[in-house]
């Protein structure tokens, strides 16, 4: 199956579009992001994600959906884990007009898990069929796959639950634990008027040390990470509301439109 590039931080999101793949997940040395809705199925094993303000483990037989525009990272993988991925472009996801509570959960950065385990072999077959249909040249086959994906997300919306915050299954090390605290704080407060000193102070670190350990583990600066969350928030408001661009800029944590426009264009490749 087609496999996307190894995870790496980028100032621009990857543009995968509609695609599927499967295999053994790797630990991500740094977070990555892309402007799609990501649907995962864990065929066997288990893995732990750090996504926004959520850190959670997803077990075999479960389905996971989240908006991948927010930085996310796999920080633990059980031995012999096999996972399937599906990327759905955000405009297509919004066109389906899925239940509003489900859409709100996804676009607010919450990972959604279907708690009802189906038969792993059957769900594996579903992903294999979707992959074949998406890759096929016949328009009818890709259309059939899209109808089935939409139906699966609708079922997921009926069963949705947010993941419980579980204990990290392995010791992440002291410096990564502190860098993770910074990431989680940013995810919960990115619309506030924050400085690096503010963030470091909340974690109880000197700003220089906070910047060093964060770059060591996330391969980006605290400021760039903060900006990515603000841009993602603005993307959500632009796609789902009729607010003025200035109001969206302010609601997303940018102090002015002059700061918002270049940050948005740098992250998304186009103006708001």
Distance between CA 93 and CA 74 in Å, rounded? 24
| Bigger pLDDT: 228 vs 15 | 228
Distance between CA 271 and CA 224 in Å, rounded? 18
- In this predicted structure, the answer to whether residue 8 has a pLDDT above a threshold of 80 is no
Q: How confident is the model at residue 150 (pLDDT cuts 50, 70, 90)?
A: very high
Side-chain-facing half-sphere of 214: CA atoms under 13 Å: 24
Give me 249's structure tokens: 């800029």
- In this predicted structure, the answer to whether residue 227 has a pLDDT above a threshold of 90 is yes
Question: Which pTM value belongs to this model?
Answer: 0.74
Give me 133's structure tokens: 């249909």
Q: What is the pLDDT of residue 245?
A: 94
Give Cβ neighbours of residue 71 (< 8 Å, ≥ 6 apart).
9, 31, 32, 33, 51, 52, 183, 218, 225, 228, 229
> What's the average model confidence in pLDDT over 27-32?
82
Closest CA relative to residue 51, chosen from 162, 207, 212, 178: 162
Give Cβ neighbours of residue 138 (< 8 Å, ≥ 6 apart).
none
Q: What is the pLDDT of residue 184?
A: 83
Q: How confident is the model at residue 69 (pLDDT cuts 50, 70, 90)?
A: confident
Sign of CA dihedral 93, 1, 76, 174: negative
Helices (H) and strands (E) in the chain, counts: 10, 8
Q: How confident is the model at residue 198 (pLDDT cuts 50, 70, 90)?
A: very high
| Bigger pLDDT: 12 vs 133 | 133
The mean pLDDT of the chain is 84
Q: How confident is the model at residue 267 (pLDDT cuts 50, 70, 90)?
A: confident
> What's the average model confidence in pLDDT over 18-43?
87
Q: What is the pLDDT of residue 118?
A: 59
Percent of all residues in the chain with a pLDDT value above 70, rounded to a whole number: 88
DSSP 69: T
């Amino acid at each position: 199956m087609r496999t996307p590039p190894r995870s790496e931080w980028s100032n621009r999101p990857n543009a995968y579009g509609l695609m599927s793949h499967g295999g053994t997940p790797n630990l991500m040395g740094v977070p990555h992001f892309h402007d799609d809705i990501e649907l995962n199925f864990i065929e066997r094993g288990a893995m732990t994600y750090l996504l926004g303000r959520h850190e959670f483990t997803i077990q075999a037989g479960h389905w996971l959906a989240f908006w991948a525009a927010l930085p996310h990272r796999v920080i633990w993988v059980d031995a012999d884990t096999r996972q399937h991925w599906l990327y759905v472009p955000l405009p297509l996801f919004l066109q389906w007009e899925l239940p509003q509570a489900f859409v709100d959960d996804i676009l607010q950065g919450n990972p959604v898990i279907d708690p009802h385990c189906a038969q792993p072999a059957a769900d594996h077959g579903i992903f294999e069929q979707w992959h074949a249909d998406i890759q096929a040249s016949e328009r009818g086959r890709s259309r059939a796959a899209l109808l089935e994906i939409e139906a699966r997300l609708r079922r997921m919306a009926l069963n949705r639950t947010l993941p419980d915050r579980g204990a990290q299954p392995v010791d992440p090390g002291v410096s990564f634990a502190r860098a993770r605290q910074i990431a989680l704080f940013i995810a919960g407060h990115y619309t506030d008027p924050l400085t690096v000193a503010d963030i470091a102070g909340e974690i109880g670190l000197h700003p220089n040390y906070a910047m060093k350990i964060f770059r060591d583990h996330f391969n980006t600066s605290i400021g760039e990470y903060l900006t990515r969350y603000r841009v993602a928030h603005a993307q959500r408001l632009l796609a789902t509301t009729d607010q003025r661009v200035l109001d969206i800029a302010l609601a997303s944590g940018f102090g002015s439109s002059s700061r918002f426009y270049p940050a948005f264009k740098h992250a998304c490749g186009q103006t708001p």
